[in-house]
Amino acid sequence: MRCANSIRKALRYPYALTSIALATLLFMAAPASAQINLGTAGNFGVLAGSAVTNTGSSVIGADLGVSPGSAVTGFPPGVVTPPGTIHSADATAAQAQIDLTTAYTTAAAMPTLVNLTGTDLGGLTLTPGVYGFASSAQLTGTLTLDALGNPSAVFVFKMGSTLTTASGSSVKVINGGTSCNVFWQIGSSATFGTTTTFAGNVLALGSITLNTGVNLGGRALARNGAVTLAGNNVSACGVQAICPVISISPAALPGGSVGASYNQTVSASGGVAPYFYSVVGGVLPAGLSLNSATGAITGTLTTAGTFNFTIQGTDANGCPGTRPYVIVVTAVICPAIVLNPASLPGAFIGVPYSQSISATGGVAPYIYAVVSGALPTGLVLNPATGAITGTPTGAGTFNFTIRGTDANGCPGQLSYALTVAIVPVTADIPTLSQWGLIILMMLAALIAMVRLRRI
């Protein structure tokens, strides 16, 4: 009687019957009958058929390849960590594609044990087995894969068309399982939403797109299409990257002020030269640029503020190291720039003239210029030294203002009046020694006259 009542209740609430059936199927899911052999494709973290493109600081923990296409862009700033290397349309990538096709075909031929068509993978806990979707599959939230304590447990997911994950979604393998034994056979393309944390080997007939911040504990293997990366970490299971610690120096960078030139160099050590430098987080102060080959940060600061950024140095083997920096740029507060002398001596027509203007109170060097009025005809101002030189050609009083500007663009100025006169004509005036000789001669003449009178 109680059994009959339970059946009547289930029929009255059909959604409950559906849930019971799904739970029963999941519980009864048997492990995949055999491991899927990736062959040489297992050496790759990323493998594409047409092209691999990257933006940002993606890190691939195994080989990266493309075949029959050859385009690989965005490395650097992306890196392939040793012992992984890049294979572009070579024999190694071609063989990996052959092995990928075999693995894909093997997965597609496995009989589906549980049909999840129309079910979002988010929120499910699944045991080892082969799961199928007639068309597309969606992951929103967290999918938990329970290996039931068996380190060899295999999970296979077969999609007739696409796999799409929502931003922030995740796949967790628990109870002794490994992402190496999780396989996603996708009939067309896979798209992973931002910051998704995913596990397993993605075997797609078409393309694979990893949006910003996706972490893949497994492999992205596309048979015919492209693999698109955007600041991702692909840590291919079973492949160990051997990288030394790459250090970036100095520990801190000095600040500056608006309008001032800036020249500092960061350097990497600990790996194999040469290094490639890039900004992988934040932005440099406005007006500055980073030389990717030398690590020099140069330019003229244009905007005040606090600028936070991270510089990555990547060695010849693709091993990266990073260091965060802060540069504080202050607005310029100009000091008083004082010009000397306070006045200029006069000049004469046709007589060479040379006087110097100097500035103090700012940051050398200074630039000098006449900003109003005009120098006397025949005189010029040296903008670097402040020297006024030349030979005046016309008389008169000349009024002008000279400005001195320091290295930070801070100005100071002073007005001058320079009088140019005609050279004066002077009579011949005896000198003191000449006067003495004249007096002696007059005394001698007087003595001679006195002697003549006595005679």
| Residues 6+ away with beta carbon under 8 Å from 271 | 243, 244, 246, 313, 315, 316, 317, 319, 321
pTM score of the predicted model: 0.55
Tokens representing residue 340 in the block: 């000397």
Bridge partners (DSSP) of residue 263 are 298
pLDDT higher than threshold 70 for residue 276: yes
Higher pLDDT, 152 or 249: 249
Rounded distance between C-alpha atoms, residue 373 and residue 396, angstroms: 14
pLDDT higher than threshold 60 for residue 18: no
Residue with tokens 């969606």: 138
Contact call for residues 184 and 107 (beta carbons, < 8 A): no
Tokens representing residue 323 in the block: 């260091």
Rounded distance between C-alpha atoms, residue 325 and residue 282, angstroms: 10
Where is average pLDDT lowest: 70-84, 129-143, 208-222, 307-321? 307-321
Cα distances from 335 to residues 170, 274, 332, in angstroms, run: 58, 44, 9
| Residues 6+ away with beta carbon under 8 Å from 440 | none
Supply φ then ψ for residue 24, to 5 degrees: -65, -45
Higher pLDDT, 394 or 331: 394
Rounded distance between C-alpha atoms, residue 101 and residue 160, angstroms: 16
- Round the average pLDDT of the chain to a whole number and report it: 87
Q: How many CB atoms lie within 10 A of CB 362?
A: 21
Rounded distance between C-alpha atoms, residue 114 and residue 125, angstroms: 13
Give the DSSP letter string of 187-209. SS-EEE-TT-EEEEEEEESS-EE
Q: Quick one: pLDDT band at residue 451, thresholds 50, 70, 90? A: confident
Q: How many CB atoms lie within 10 A of CB 126?
A: 17
Q: What percentage of the chain reaches a pLDDT higher than 90?
A: 65
Contact call for residues 375 and 400 (beta carbons, < 8 A): yes
pLDDT value of residue 40: 93
Tokens representing residue 32 in the block: 């995949």
Cα distances from 316 to residues 78, 272, 388, in angstroms, run: 13, 5, 57
**DSSP helix/strand/coil, 98:** helix
Tokens representing residue 240 in the block: 């160990």
Rounded distance between C-alpha atoms, residue 229 and residue 111, angstroms: 32
pLDDT value of residue 34: 53
Bridge partners (DSSP) of residue 135 are none
Contact call for residues 218 and 97 (beta carbons, < 8 A): no
By DSSP bridging, strand 320-330 and strand 305-314 are antiparallel
Q: Quick one: pLDDT band at residue 8, thresholds 50, 70, 90? A: very low
Helix or strand holding residue 106 (H, E): helix 91-109
Rounded distance between C-alpha atoms, residue 277 and residue 313, angstroms: 5
pLDDT value of residue 242: 57
pLDDT value of residue 433: 64
Tokens representing residue 119 in the block: 């079910």
Q: Quick one: pLDDT band at residue 176, thresholds 50, 70, 90? A: confident
pLDDT value of residue 24: 39
Q: Quick one: pLDDT band at residue 30, thresholds 50, 70, 90? A: very low
pLDDT value of residue 431: 60
Over range 184-203, report the average pLDDT. 96
Rounded distance between C-alpha atoms, residue 245 and residue 270, angstroms: 6
Of 299, 408, 422, 268, nearest in space to 351 by CA:
422
Q: How many CB atoms lie within 10 A of CB 363?
A: 14
Where is average pLDDT lowest: 133-147, 179-193, 391-405, 421-435? 421-435
pLDDT in tens, 300-338: 999 999 999 999 888 776 677 889 999 999 887 788 899
pLDDT higher than threshold 90 for residue 421: yes
